[in-house]
Structure formats: structure tokens, C-alpha cells
Amino acid sequence: MTDTELLTQAEWNKLATNLLKSELARAGIGYEELINRLASFGVTESYKGIANKINRGTYSFTFFMQCMKALKKTTVKLD
């Protein structure tokens, strides 16, 4: 992908899905552990809700930041 390449919404969603799943895999964290970690700072999510958001790739940036906090990530590479 180049900087000038135009992407469809579905392609952006797929990139979002892949990014979050990659970060979870790098951390060795599954959805159940993510739910527990999110709950530790007041974010309530169900397993089905988490799975749907991540698999669709249509989650909010707020949700992404919450996940990164749960994973104790301070930086994310977007390429």
C-alpha cells in the first residue's frame, strides 16, 4: 500500500481489524483477558461485543485507545 493508494471502507475496516488483532497477538492476550483488563478501569464489554467490534473493524478510536491501555501499549506502528 502506498500513501497515495485509495482504499475502500471495507479495506480500512480490514486494516483496523488486523491492527488490533496483531497487537493482541503480540501481547499474548485473548478476548477474555482483554475483557478483564478493560473492566479493571471501568470499561464493560461482553465477549460477543468485543469479537464483533474487532472482527468488523468498525470500532471507535476511543475503544482502540482503551484496548491499547489494557495492553499497556504506549506506541503503535500503523504501517
Per-residue pLDDT tens digits of the chain, which is 79 residues long? 555 589 999 999 999 999 999 999 999 999 999 999 999 999 999 999 999 999 999 999 999 999 999 999 999 988 7
pTM over 0.85: yes
| Rounded-to-integer distance, Cα 71 and Cα 41, Å | 12
| Rounded-to-integer distance, Cα 31 and Cα 42, Å | 16
56 CB-near residues (< 8 Å, 6+ apart): 13, 17
